[in-house]
Chain A
Amino acid sequence: MEPSGNAAMKTFLVVDDSALVRKIARRMLESWAFDVDEAEDGQRALERCSRSMPDGILLDWNMPQVTGLEFLEKLRGQTDGTAPKVVFCTSMNDMGHIARALSSGADEYIMKPFDEDILREKLEEVGLLEKSET
């Protein structure tokens, strides 16, 4: 495994108001050698992104202040804001929300509860991880 802070490491921002979800996601992402940062709402996530754009973002929907969807719309409006792969990760598990997320620029969508297999496969799908054979 590469040492942390290595410039070649891909960076990931986990945006969720639940500390537990952030912790679980961080553990999975770090096991795949991502350099992980966290934000507990959309406002803080925007601040993080204005400092430096991560390669990937895992995004909750319902959060205080700026929601996941509002964050995404603002992000995609910025220069460089189209670069990060954004994967929604939310318990809004219906067609309407999925459709809105995609039309606002999300690359993938995870319905909670999720597990390691699902997260890994979604990251493969958006090209942040190499494909593995089952």
Chain B
Amino acid sequence: MIAHSEYDFLRRFLKSRSGLILGDEKQYLLESRLEPVLQKMKVPDMSRLVALLRDGPAPAGLADAVVEAMTTNESLFFRDKNPFDLLSTHILPELLQKRAPMHTLRIWCAAASTGQEPYSIAMLLKENERLLGGRRVEIIGTDLSSDVLARCEEGLYNQFEVQRGLPVHYLLRYFTQVGDQWRIAPEIRSMVRFSRLNLLQPFSHLGTFDIVFCRNVLIYFDSATKSDILARIAGVTAKDGYLLLGGAETVLGLTADFVAGNRRGFYVPRAAASAMALAAK
């Protein structure tokens, strides 16, 4: 069993590196997730790991490996369905009215994980191609973990993954079979660009987005971290843009920069909401 002081160190380490908050009694989770890291990096035990991280010299990649091992990467296609229904029936039509035909729609998946979310968006846009009327679209998927980004780039999913949330006609239309795996079609793959990004670090260089998906990642952070990230997301969201969070996430009590949209399930920058209220007077 890991010593109390070592557990404490690792908790602080993880919070500062990725924002992850580990509860008081997660020693078992920590040890089972870090066991493979010890093996791979040839570190004899947890005490040695802590010593290396605290006092060095830590081998290259050790800190990242520890952080990545502790992230939860579960994802599925069209997760929760509602955000994607909203996107095609409400957000896209509204956005297209507001944007000039030459405007490139920019969408950001701020926790892309293994790619199901950005690819779901891309497939949905493909299905709504007529609605888009030839407009250019840019989807950017970012994540902290280089392992999941490698999977995104590869675009290869197993039989379980392509059955979780993915309607079968999408499978037929947008995947090809490679042995017992399924590969996302090049036309969908090429709609998404991936890069590595830690949400704790600055991201204003990404530019301004019309739609931001930041789903099922804030849940792992404490309120201060959530507030900070949400405020900075507001900084890269178009004044009349959209923010979509996970089913258990909210902006309430965390930031005044976003308010609930005119449908359940998405948020809009506060400035846009008050401008609309004024216009309605």
Contacts and interface: CB of A to CB of B under 8 A. Distances in A.
Interface of A: 93-95, 98-99, 102, 108-111, 114-115, 117-118, 121-122, 124-125, 131, 133-134
Most buried by A among B159, B163, B172, B247: B163
Nearest to B176: A95
Given A98-B168, A98-B171, A133-B247, A111 B163 contact: yes
Interface residues of B, number: 20
A28 to B, nearest CB: 15
B42 interface: no
Contacts of A121: 163-165
B177 interface: yes
B82 interface: yes
B202 interface: no
Interface of B: 76, 79-82, 159-160, 163-165, 167-169, 171-172, 176-177, 180, 247-248
Given A102-B168, A111-B163, A95 B177 contact: yes
B168 A131 contact: no
Contacts of B159: 93, 111
A119 to B, nearest CB: 9
Nearest to B79: A134
B44 to A, nearest CB: 38
Contacts of B248: 133
Contact of A118 (B79, B82, B160, B172): B160
Contacts of B168: 98, 102, 108-109
